[in-house]
Amino acid sequence: MTEAGRRVEVIEKRTLYQGYSRLYEYRLRHSLHEGGMSAEITREVMARGHAVFVLPYDPVRDEVVMIEQFRIGPFANGDHAWSLESVAGMIEEGEEPEAVARREAREEAGLELGEIIHAYDCHTSPGAVSEHISIYCAHVDASTAGGIHGVKAEGEDIKVIVMGFEDIMQALDDGRINVGPVIVAVQWLAMHRDEIRERWRT
């Protein structure tokens, strides 16, 4: 593989595990900053597809619709197992990210989204995970939000929580929001709040 004058030479790729996620082992060499190629290195990478995160925002009420659900990662790490998050979902083959955002908003929060604005694309943990995330902010009527949602066949038990803008900034500051892409989404809202309120309130 070549990228802007740099090369990655894959010597071998093996599947170590395949289940909810997949684990691959790569043996490879890559271009060095000082020139030439690296020695052969071995790296494992977890592959679990690509995801969409969407932050539903009501510009009139100045409220954000969040969700709370059990998460195995924080639990396994000894942290608080119920995460305060935004609506999110995996992109299936052939799907567009905005379509995923709308589907997941219905399934996880019972919401119909209005206009969707793309905020960022990012990688969750580039040293070990191939997952790529698209982050959006979406217009919503927060007065309709509430209740328990999720796809029971997928083991989902999701509580909807509506938070005022100042409350969500406090949750970010005190660490109650501790999921990386959600932190990014909330910070994007903080930077662009005035312009999107003006855009969505007219």
The predicted-structure confidence for 161-202, as pLDDT tens digits, reads as follows 999 999 999 999 999 999 999 999 999 999 999 999 999 986
pLDDT at 67: 97
The predicted-structure confidence for 142-167, as pLDDT tens digits, reads as follows 999 999 998 888 888 999 999 999 99
Arithmetic mean of pLDDT over the chain: 93
Helix (H) or strand (E) holding 101: helix 97-109
pLDDT at 2: 67
What mean pLDDT comes out for the span 138-143?
97
Q: What is the CATH number of domain 51-200?
A: 3.90.79.10
Active site residue 154: yes
pLDDT at 1: 65
Catalytic residue among 3, 34, 154, 166: 154
| Domain map (residue ranges) of the chain | 2-47, 51-200
The predicted-structure confidence for 121-133, as pLDDT tens digits, reads as follows 999 889 999 999 9
The predicted-structure confidence for 26-78, as pLDDT tens digits, reads as follows 999 999 999 999 999 999 999 988 999 999 999 999 999 999 999 988 999 88
Give the distance from CA 57 to its chain's centroid.
Answer: 16
Q: Is the pLDDT of residue 18 over 80?
A: yes
pLDDT at 202: 66
